């Protein structure tokens, strides 16, 4: 799926002829279906229902949701987008990129309050498109930075999907893997399958296979055995929110991997753009963790796989304390310990 420029060709989010087009990630890899959106409420539903997922992708989709709602009001004397901002902000709680993108849209609007409605609509569409393009550029930068830490002949373990599908394109964790693969440093990528939505086996394996990057699916429980056998050099993951001290909220199961990595002297790299940092939170325990419906655990694609009415927990994310992390890569540079001090120096102020 890499074209001759070395850029990936997955287009999970596109904006064409005033319509937002999302690749329905719930159906991958069986079907490549594209859904069209024209208002904020339907985009919010698509985020909640996992049509589009992954922290940066959620933010980009929400930004376009605001632009779509504005276009609906193009004949009105003034824009009224309060309800649109509210419904999009309520779509998922953990990924801070969502709130960051909505803030950017709000600021763009406030800075251009003097313009007429048609000009404001164009401005909002351009701002959303800018968020998308900046995200792709950040991913390429992080890819190069992260790949510089990877040794030749490395086997990598990744969790969930932090790829082109989860971002504007190229990916965060998968961006590093793509760049390192181009430098011929990678012999195998293990994709943790990632219960309950199977982002690893459905999405990461699909993306990597399309790019001819060697990938092997590992069920979550096999990670310890793989690491014990010395098969993995780096675990590389994305993030949904990073607090000022470098604690990371990411897909449930990341913390398990971080603990395993520490025990087996395997290094842990987190790759996330600056839009994933929340410097208003001192520590990760302040990050809201989404709890999703228990049926996502007790059923598999609509088929009941646990006893009827059995309780199940379904936290969508967990928290990895910064002491278990070796490097955090953002587009501005490589962060290492002490994270609080280095994050403040690179991103503060
Ligand atoms: O529930 P999801 O699929 O939205 O969770 C996604 C993750 O946890 C990713 O690792 C994270 O958002 C980073 S994506 C570049």
Please give the structure tokens belonging to residue 17. 């002829």
Residue 312 has pLDDT above 80, yes or no: yes
Return the pLDDT at 231: 87
Q: Would the CB of 316 count as within 6 Å of ligand 1? A: yes
Q: How many structural domains comprise the chain?
A: 2
Find out whether 15 and 64 touch, Cβ atoms under 8 Å: yes
Return the pLDDT at 10: 78
For the chain, count helices (H), then strands (E): 11, 16
DSSP symbols for 262-278: HHTT-EEEEE--GGGEE
Are 158 and 219 found together in one domain?
Answer: yes
Closest atom of ligand 1 relative to the 271 alpha carbon: 15
Say if 2 falls within a structural domain. Answer: no
Q: Which of 48-52, 183-187, 205-209, 298-302 has the lowest mean pLDDT?
A: 298-302
**In angstroms, what is the span from residue 265 Cα to ligand 1's centroid?**
25
Residue 6 has pLDDT above 50, yes or no: no
Return the pLDDT at 88: 98
Return the pLDDT at 8: 56
Please give the structure tokens belonging to residue 340. 């609080």
Return the pLDDT at 4: 40
Which residues does 223 contact at the CB level (< 8 Å), separation at least 6? 157, 190, 192, 256, 257, 260
The fraction of the chain above a pLDDT of 70, given in percent, is 97
- Tens digits of residue pLDDT in 175-233: 999 999 999 999 999 999 999 999 999 999 999 999 999 999 999 999 999 999 998 99
Say if 3 falls within a structural domain. Answer: no
Return the pLDDT at 301: 84
Residue 1 has pLDDT above 70, yes or no: no
Say if 5 falls within a structural domain. Answer: no
Residue 346 has pLDDT above 60, yes or no: yes
Q: Looking at 139, 168, 188, which one is the last position of a domain?
A: 139
Are 250 and 101 found together in one domain?
Answer: no
Find out whether 50 and 25 touch, Cβ atoms under 8 Å: yes
The span from the CA of 106 to the CA of 324, in Å, is: 36
- Tens digits of residue pLDDT in 92-135: 999 999 999 999 999 999 999 999 999 999 999 999 999 999 99
Residue 328 has pLDDT above 80, yes or no: yes
Say if 1 falls within a structural domain. Answer: no
Say if 86 falls within a structural domain. Answer: yes
Average confidence (pLDDT) over 50-55? 98
- Tens digits of residue pLDDT in 228-251: 999 899 999 999 999 999 999 999
Say if 4 falls within a structural domain. Answer: no
Find out whether 127 and 305 touch, Cβ atoms under 8 Å: no
Q: Would the CB of 167 count as within 6 Å of ligand 1? A: yes
For ligand 1, pick from 164, 238, 253 the residue to mutate: most ligand atoms within 8 Å of CB.
238
CA count, 13 A, side-chain hemisphere, 39: 9
Range of the domain at 81: 13-139
Are 131 and 154 found together in one domain?
Answer: no
Closest atom of ligand 1 relative to the 272 alpha carbon: 15
Average confidence (pLDDT) over 313-317? 98
Are 320 and 229 found together in one domain?
Answer: yes
- Tens digits of residue pLDDT in 135-149: 999 999 999 999 999
Return the pLDDT at 2: 46
Residue 53 has pLDDT above 50, yes or no: yes
pTM score above 0.85 = yes
Are 337 and 200 found together in one domain?
Answer: yes
Q: Would the CB of 93 count as within 6 Å of ligand 1? A: no
Q: Looking at 104, 139, 174, which one is the last position of a domain?
A: 139
Is position 240 annotated as part of the catalytic site? yes
The span from the CA of 332 to the CA of 349, in Å, is: 14
């Amino acid at each position: 799926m890499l074209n001759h420029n070395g850029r990936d060709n997955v287009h999970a989010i596109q904006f064409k002829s005033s319509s937002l087009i999302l690749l329905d990630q719930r159906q991958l890899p069986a079907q490549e279906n594209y859904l069209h959106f024209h208002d904020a409420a339907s985009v919010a539903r698509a985020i909640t229902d996992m049509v589009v997922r992954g922290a940066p992708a959620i933010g980009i989709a929400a930004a376009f949701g605001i632009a779509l709602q504005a276009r609906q009001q193009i004949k009105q004397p003034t824009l009224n987008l309060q309800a649109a901002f509210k419904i999009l902000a309520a779509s998922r709680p953990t990924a801070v990129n969502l709130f960051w993108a909505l803030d950017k849209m709000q600021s763009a609007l406030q800075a251009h309050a003097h313009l007429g409605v048609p000009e404001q609509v164009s401005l909002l569409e351009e701002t959303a498109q800018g968020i998308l393009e900046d995200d792709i550029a950040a991913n390429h930068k992080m890819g190069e930075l992260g790949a510089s830490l990877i040794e030749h002949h490395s086997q990598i373990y990744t969790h969930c999907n932090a790829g082109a599908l989860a971002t504007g394109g190229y990916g965060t964790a998968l961006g590093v893997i793509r760049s390192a693969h181009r430098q011929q440093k990678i012999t195998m990528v293990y994709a943790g399958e990632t219960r309950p939505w199977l982002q690893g086996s459905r999405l990461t394996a699909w993306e990597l296979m399309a790019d001819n990057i060697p990938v092997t699916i590992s069920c979550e429980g096999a990670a310890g055995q793989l690491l014990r056998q010395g098969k993995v050099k780096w675990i590389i993951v994305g993030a949904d929110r990073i607090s000022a001290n470098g604690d990371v909220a990411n897909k449930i199961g990341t913390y398990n991997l971080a603990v395993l990595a520490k025990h087996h002297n395997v290094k842990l790299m987190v790759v996330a753009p600056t839009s994933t940092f929340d410097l208003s939170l001192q520590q990760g325990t302040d990050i809201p963790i989404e709890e999703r419906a228990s049926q996502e655990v007790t059923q598999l694609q609509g088929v009941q796989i646990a006893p009827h009415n059995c309780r199940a927990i379904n936290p969508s994310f967990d928290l990895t304390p910064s002491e278990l992390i070796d490097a955090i890569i953002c587009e501005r540079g490589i962060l290492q310990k002490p994270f609080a001090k280095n994050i403040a120096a690179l991103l503060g102020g």
